[in-house]
Chains A and B, each alone.
Chain A
């Protein structure tokens, strides 16, 4: 019998690892000392191990505690317009604007409130803009600055001219010989261009005009509202049906007190049946419900507003139906004075931008703006530029420069384009024609007296911390770049030191 002698070390190595005797003493008693503190987790901050070439960091899980905002919710918050601050004080002695007051001398340089029903109408036509600071004050009110009072007087003038012409021309004549004012409001950022438009619209509502407003011409330019070619047009014209439907809704709702008293006088060739004797607001709403017919409805409405068929009076004579004056307001006009972002294939098979004046709705407004068409009963076409220059229009800049030159030197009637634009550079002539001979109204900073009036109004709302004194007003006037009203608000109301 032979025995294999295995050396003890080797013998042990053949045993499984678990059965090998460990060097540490084994004990079943509990530790008498506290356990060693847990090692700090340094894993995420440690440099990579040798041989590894990348640094791996664990990402911390983001725990979402609230529900994500629903689609459109954020935008709604962003676009929300707050017109009152219930914490603000009721300013003492604030009177409401009335139809007669707008052009009166006693309101010049005073802050007047906007009456409730006009506020509702202005809301509908999107006269109030985000970021205008209405939310700081008790209720909407605006300063009747010089330019506003003058504009209101011109609006009165339009009405009187029409009345005089009616008397002169006599009844039964369609062309009422009204006066169409065209104005381009421009000025640096924060000078109150949009608010001037709003005040003009407020005056128009109070005086019983029909207000049609494009609150943001960019919407017609960006290519974000749907468009369709208009059949049987050459060159091809386009309609923006959704937008037109929305516009009709605004017209109907905002001008209901006026339009509900007017009735259809023509028989229109429309794809739907229309009850005779329909009021104009109800007629406009037909286009709201069916965007396909929005453009024909708009055209028909426009005919009704500008050229009503004569009615027979009690003696059987044809009598002109009186129609209200019209205010056309376009804010941020620059985007529709340059090629749009809508694209079409041209004859060479290349994509080219569509010109804004190939859109019938835009062309409709610009025709009145440039004076190619006039309002028979008179009215006002107001366009305002934007201080924000993200969408620039060369044509508009040239138009403004020419208007300024005309103001500076009234004798020089014939201005040369070459003095304002390098003729060897490309220029959108269709757009330029729209603004070449427009009357421009420049808005600048407020005077110190006006600044004081508006700051006192803010103080009346409890929104000014200092006492309103000459030194305070002068200081803020300077810091606001010479009374630029938006900057003034920033310095006085928004800034908290």
Chain B
């Protein structure tokens, strides 16, 4: 296989990943690492570096659209970025020392968690929390537009959410993924903020979290231009197409299919990790 053919196939794979990721809301980055390592036999360090780049691309692309709508809670995002960026740097350092087989197993476990969470998540906004001293002092309580007008909400359990975000940051830095699933757990289940706000705020934070660890990966030589070029362009193109054809009714079965693919890939990653063949 020549570089030209290889780049073409990678571009097509990334395009599909970006499209599925944006249609299902599961994020396209999660399938990139298994695609690169299992199908193309790319070393996992290069795969992590490439995935990190695609995460920044999709996050910045989508955040531009959401910020405009005034749903994102920028103060909350900024405050929690203290936790995620610090965690991401720790995770990136860890990635240099952990054996690749361990990284593959951790990756598989996180994949399963992400896929199952997308089903466990309630479709309607959770009951919002009550006011607290910390969320008032940090001015985290906010409102967002709904068809019935502006809806106010309180942010609960700031300390617990912050700690969970720190873990999400470590995972993001270690595996080169957005860890949107963990960010959403922190905001939905711990901080009790509305569904719509947590999704957009999480996406808003993902790019910044990834940017914190990208410098370390670049210096270590994990970011390869030949891999990053087709993947970044493909994921962006796919996410753009996905945002254009987003129709809610048809995504349910697509989501099940995509989650199934993720589960198979996760099992494959864990199996390869245990066998030390990755």
Do A and B interact? no
Binding site for A on B (CB under 8 A): none
